[in-house]
Amino acid sequence: MKILGVDPGLLNLGCVLLEVKEKKLNLIKAETIKAPPKQSLSQRLFFLYQAFKKLLKSERPEFLVVEEPIPKINPHSTAKVFQAQAIVLIIAEEESIPIRYYNPSFWKKYLCGDGKATKAEVKNFLKAFIGKEFDAKIKDEHTTDALAMALVLALDLNLL
């Protein structure tokens, strides 16, 4: 099964594609789609729409897992994350790809035993679990979070 983990963001949309076959994990692709920061909101959303749609059409995941945004102190920035998440959800629906949502506290607890695990703790867990492929393919916190969610889904579905 091919699982695409997505960490939504208006400027940085982290995406990691895992394939699980016969209880073996293969990290196929990790990328952060970076929207041009100087463009208008509508232009950035359209850029994300086009780039994410292209990714789904080329990779054909069988399942999508998306992080649920956490309302932060700044409602303006939280609204932008929700807009990026909406783009992902619309395209997944267009492509008839099933979706699961994970709250950060859920997937952090699932992997690290603590829903408030730090980014460093999550990264250390994933490095130990994935091995040398982690350093070769995971380049930023956006793909780290996307990988964590894809891995949790694979474990949750008893694929590993």
Each residue of 51-72: b (16+ CB within 10 Å) or e?
A: bbbebbeeeebebbbbbbbeee
Which amino acid is it at 96? Answer: S
pLDDT value of position 78: 82
Q: Extract the residue ranges of the chain whose pLDDT is less than 50.
A: none
Closest CA relative to residue 37, chosen from 28, 29, 50, 48: 48
pLDDT value of position 75: 72
Which amino acid is it at 36? Answer: P
This prediction has a pTM of 0.95
The one-character DSSP state at 68 is: P
pLDDT value of position 69: 83
pLDDT value of position 79: 85
Domains in the chain and their CATH numbers?
Answer: 2-156 (3.30.420.10)
Contacts of 121 (CB under 8 A, 6+ apart): 112, 114
Q: What is the pLDDT of residues 118-151, one digit of tens each?
A: 999 999 999 999 999 899 999 999 999 999 999 9
